[in-house]
Structure 1
Amino acid sequence: MSTPDTSPVALVTGGSSGIGESTARALLVQGFTVYAVARRVDRMAALASEGVHTFAMDVTDDASMVAGIDRIVGEQGRIDVLVNNAGYGSYGAVEDVPIEEARRQFEVNVFGLARLVQLVTPHMRAQKSGRIINISSIGGKFYEPFGAWYHATKFAVEGFSDSLRMELRPFGIKVVLIEPGPILTEWNEIARDSLLERSGDGAYAAHARKAHAVLTRFDEPSRASTPEEVADKIVKAALAKRPAARYPVGKGARMITTSRDLLPDRVFDEVVSRTFGTR
């Protein structure tokens, strides 16, 4: 992806914790020149001390994204890998989630991702090479009660990436989806706390509290995987000569995505309803 005399250059968004932090570190070990970005630079101090370039970027702020890509290309002359990892889950009954919060999830999880794709594509096209790795989720293949807005964003990332893969293939740019299952990061705590905040009282309270308990169990090490496992899969996608279109990763991820493909909607609805106590 780069000339023999230079290291390949990677940009990782959401680099301040979890999957993003682990990915930045894993790519650095593989010889990449790595840029990790997030809103809070102070949380990337450890990465900076290890040799990762860090600076602030807000994927809901166009000027911030434009300046960030300009900086990387100005300093390195190229960009070889974009890891679109920034994202979050905000849960609650559709009736209870303010539409402004729904829009914000799309701004972060979909439109920020898409805007960075727009910004890096001309550089990759000029190089006749590049790799765009979009972090989706098994949540882009199935569904849960109280996660409608989050799942909608990940379904969107799946469809966006599949179309993008076809568009960019003639220019030597490969597009890959990573589909993590439950991962031991702060994501789950944020998602389940937002569920109780919005739907812990009122018409949905009983079912919301059952769903909160289910999400809490997914933080158990026996049910969840580590951010490092996802980072290893991202590195594989970055280095493979012919990467797969999508990589499920983590405990139960492939089983869940496969069962969704095979089971009729009515059967899958029953499985999810029993799991979350919404029958």
Structure 2
Amino acid sequence: MTLKAAVLGHPIGHSKSPALHRAAYARLGVDVEYSAIDVTVADLPAFMASVRDEPGWRGLSVTMPLKTAMVSEVDEVRGVAGILGVVNTVVFEADGASVRRIGYNTDVAGIVNAVQHAGVVSAPSAVVLGGGGTAAAAIAALKDLGAPSADVFVRDVGRAAEARAASEGVGLSVRILPLSGAAAAMAAADVVITTLPPRGADALADELAALGTRTPGVLLDVAYDPWPSRIASVWQDGGGAVVPGLEMLLYQAVEQVRFFSGLGDRVTAEVIDVMCDAVGAPRRVF
């Protein structure tokens, strides 16, 4: 029987997850068919009901705008996903004659690995742009990196519930601030994580460029299409290191492959290398 996995989201046509996963399963010699499926928040309950008893499912990668909604569609939420209330990975786990759907969050590990490889210092001063599900993962990642606190800049300070919940859940103090004041704080930070949608930081990039100051820290822009983003180009021009969202996507996908293939730590550097090659990401030393 061919095993199945997929990435869910809306829109989904731009996703590079299929390339990453297919390369990994081919290298591992595991027969997992991985596809991309367009699913809206409204469609999610019906979709999850349809796959509950369908044989062969191993896992689901979950992207925007489904990460929060997926919490209500799984049988159990484990690890940091339960703390954040954000699920980006669903694993189909055999339980006797039935199958249980278990929610995880691998975005946190993806962010930690991505910024560590870029040389983020211990206990970094930190800025997060955006207040949604990926920002929640960024807050948890900053806690793991030893950040003492973080400034979270959002378009509407009254709509940052996920960031506030993440702060309380992981025990990292945050300030929720209006996005209009972010440029100067970014330039002074050791690490900046922007979780805004593609082109969502363009105006802020122009403001940062107008300041004419150095940007010596590390910027992770989770958006990877188009690349380089305007904010990434301005940051690099200011002397800072830039981590494309493609690297975060890679590192969180490695954890998913370990779940979906059932091979765990046997997903080694050789597999990660072919995943890098599949999407044009630089190879890193793990």
The TM tier, using the shorter chain, reads: 0.3 to 0.5
In proportion to residue count, which structure has more helix?
1
- The normalised TM-score by structure 2 is 0.41
- The normalised TM-score by structure 1 is 0.41
